[in-house]
Amino acid sequence: MIPILVALTLALATLGDGGMSPFSLLAQHLAVLAAILIALFRTPSAFGPDRAPARAWLAFAALAALGALGAPYAYGAWLVLVDLTVCGALAWLVAREPGPMRVALPATIGALAAMHGIAAVVQKLGGTSRPASTFLNPNHLAAWLCAAVLLLAGVVADRLARRAARGLGSASIAIALAGVFVTGSRGAVVGLAAGGIALAATSWITLSAAVRRRMLLGVAAGVAVASIGVALRFETDSDPYRFHRTRIWRASLGALARSPLRGTGPGQFVSAAPNLNFPLEDTPLRFGRVFHSPHSDALRAFCEFGTPAGIVAFAGAFLFATSFWRRRPEASGIERGAFAAVVALGSQGLIDDLSSRPAITVAAAALAGLAVARPRPSVAPPRRIVIASAALLATLALGAGEVAGFLGWYNGQRLPPGRLDPAGLARLGRAISWNPIQPDLWRRLALHEMGDARSWTVDGYARAREASERARRLQPADATFARGAARVEAEACHTLFPFETTRARAEALYGEAEALARTDATIPLEAAIFAFQAGDASGARRAAERALRIEPNGSVPRIWLARALLEEEGKPAVERARKLLDEAASVALPAGTAPSSPYEATLRAVDSELLAAARRTLDAVAAR
């Protein structure tokens, strides 16, 4: 039953955005939980994971848990710990039953590789420039397919494998390589080359000279296919950001420099990223392109979990490799293929963010479990209290916790913006009751209360303020929630409390949001608009100037700066304001041009009425 549940988990993980959709995640985690409970209450196995890499994994997980205790975004840290638990559990489950897994894993992965390879080719023929099957990201699909190719290559090279298994494996390899070819992934070339070398090196002493030659030719052919796909991609692809990733790597090291021991904390890098972003001087907007991960799992181990955890992670990889190398003579072809697949994923993970895709992490964990499986001496079974405690913890983490998180998402999804009707508000209430530590649900409640802010009561303002502050407390490191709290105070200043204290509170919150995202010019722009409408022309001028320092080509900030100058200085500011308005018209998006992002829309898509109103004000001031 356990091999079936593991195979089901691998299959589910390739569906729903490479396993990232809430439906897919819930199904995966419930399948893993069922397998854990069966294993815990079954007679102890004669096999298990090799102790050295297992201990390294446990040490890394312990350091991650310590980092999670101090993480500002508790829910994000919890999600990372759940992912680590799932991966560790899968490796343990596979290592306990290596015999059945040698059948279940190649059969499952081979069938899935054929399915996704065909899907990618069909998408390419349908006009998709870089197909990704169900993975969203073509690089992630290519990584998964390369791992499948190497596992199946181990099957094909195994002298004990049946002829039918070799034939089916060869067919799946061909289809999977076709899928890799159409993705044009550079990382896949790196992974396939490293994994191919690992497969050849661990199989060398067990193969005849003729089989060695065929294996080397096969590895070279696979790498050549992937390389040709990359060459064809760049022949027709004029992507100006093809080497953008190297700059992301350098920028990401800033997170480690700020906190060498702890890093940003598990699941916290995305909040730190805005202050790590770097300008692009050859684009209309300097910070129009953003990143949310280091785009390297090797860097992520250090930047997000800290230096000690990163060192432990690399030590674990070394122990995994040396452990398998020592036993390579007696390893089966399937186990060598599994080892090579993990090497491929690890190598591509040096230059890509593969750990963000559950389909890849669960496959890597299962294959690693097969590679580290060892017979173990008979030991006394654990006490019932230990088994019961482990079962309870697993049920709470992967059962109750996952169901609660899913129901929170399910009830909170697709709620319309603004004020909710009674049914929508009831759904939001259920979502919050299921997952009260998800800050976005509280922010959504604040938006509901602000939906009719023009007819606010003091009680409505109090509820909106409490909800926005709750969201901010749950995720204090993210500018989104500080800005949300600022908007509540801004609306209150415009409607209920047009007082200096309310305005100062809103401006302070906007300032907090700016500090958390210093490369986002839309925040000071919003602060400028609020200050102007609240009668603070000087504050509006300063905020608009801050926005222009971030994005010198912003057209909308120029309009508000011109209006603030005219309000603050009057006639002496006419010439400067006229120049600003002319510049705003010249750097604005041309009429009929769609903005590339909401960021560009906010900063460069000029409302013609706003510009016309500013010019009328200019003419009126000049005529005085």
Instruction: For residue range 129-167, list pLDDT tens digits in order.
Output: 889 999 989 999 999 999 999 999 988 887 777 888 888
Question: What is the amino acid identity at position 333?
Answer: G
The pLDDT value recorded for residue 515 is 97
pLDDT band for position 238 (50/70/90)? Answer: low
> Is 28 in the same domain as 142?
yes
Tokens 């922010």 identify what position? Answer: 443
Lookup: tokens for 568: 């603050």
Residue 452, pLDDT > 90, answer: no
Lookup: tokens for 617: 């004000």
- Reported pTM: 0.92
3-state SS track over 426-449 = HHHHHHHHHCCCCHHHHHHHHHHH
Residue 239 lies in a domain: yes
The pLDDT value recorded for residue 378 is 67
Give mean pLDDT, residues 533-553.
Answer: 95
Report CA-CA distances (Å) from 208 to 170, 204, 212, 334: 19, 8, 6, 17
Listed range (49-63, 66-80, 441-455) with the worst mean pLDDT: 441-455
> Is 70 in the same domain as 137?
yes
Residue 412 lies in a domain: no
Residue 413 lies in a domain: no
Q: How many CA atoms lie within 13 A of 423 on its CB side?
A: 3
What gap in Å lies between CA 489 and CA 503, rounded to an integer?
Answer: 7
Question: What is the amino acid identity at position 240?
Answer: P
Phi, psi for 355 (deg, rounded to 5): -70, -10
The pLDDT value recorded for residue 472 is 96
Which of 486, 520, 554 terminates a domain? The answer is: 520
CB atoms within 10 A of CB 394: 20
What gap in Å lies between CA 430 and CA 410, rounded to an integer?
Answer: 10
Residue 235's contacts (CB-CB under 8 Å, 6 or more residues apart) are: none
Residue 355 lies in a domain: yes
> Is 588 in the same domain as 463?
no
What gap in Å lies between CA 264 and CA 590, rounded to an integer?
Answer: 40
> Is 173 in the same domain as 283?
yes
More confident residue, 96 or 452: 96
The pLDDT value recorded for residue 162 is 80
> Is 130 in the same domain as 92?
yes
Phi, psi for 49 (deg, rounded to 5): -75, 150
> Is 535 in the same domain as 424?
no
CATH number at residue 601: 1.25.40
Residue 156's contacts (CB-CB under 8 Å, 6 or more residues apart) are: 166, 169, 170, 173, 333
Q: How many CA atoms lie within 13 A of 585 on its CB side?
A: 12
What range does the domain containing 576 cover? Answer: 531-624
Which of 364, 396, 428 terminates a domain? The answer is: 396
Q: How many CA atoms lie within 13 A of 532 on its CB side?
A: 23
Total domains in the fold of the chain: 3
Q: Are 14 and 134 in contact (CB under 8 A)?
A: yes
> Is 12 in the same domain as 68?
yes
Tokens 């054929």 identify what position? Answer: 114
Residue 261 lies in a domain: yes
pLDDT band for position 241 (50/70/90)? Answer: low
The pLDDT mean for the chain works out to 92
> Is 494 in the same domain as 539?
no
Give mean pLDDT, residues 208-228.
Answer: 85
Residue 403 lies in a domain: no
> Is 281 in the same domain as 312?
yes
What gap in Å lies between CA 450 and CA 303, rounded to an integer?
Answer: 38
The pLDDT value recorded for residue 240 is 64
Residue 84, pLDDT > 80, answer: yes
Q: Are 618 and 564 in contact (CB under 8 A)?
A: no
pLDDT band for position 550 (50/70/90)? Answer: very high
> Is 544 in the same domain as 477?
no
> Is 585 in the same domain as 491?
no
pLDDT band for position 231 (50/70/90)? Answer: confident
Which of 485, 520, 555 terminates a domain? The answer is: 520
CATH number at residue 463: 1.25.40.10
> Is 472 in the same domain as 354?
no
Q: Are 152 and 169 in contact (CB under 8 A)?
A: yes
What gap in Å lies between CA 10 and CA 218, rounded to an integer?
Answer: 26
Give mean pLDDT, residues 28-55.
Answer: 90
- Per residue in 258-285, pLDDT tens? 999 999 999 999 999 999 999 998 889 9
Residue 407 lies in a domain: no
Q: Are 269 and 303 in contact (CB under 8 A)?
A: yes
Burial environment of residue 310 by CB neighbours within 10 A (0 to 12, 13 to 18, 19 or more): buried
Residue 408 lies in a domain: no
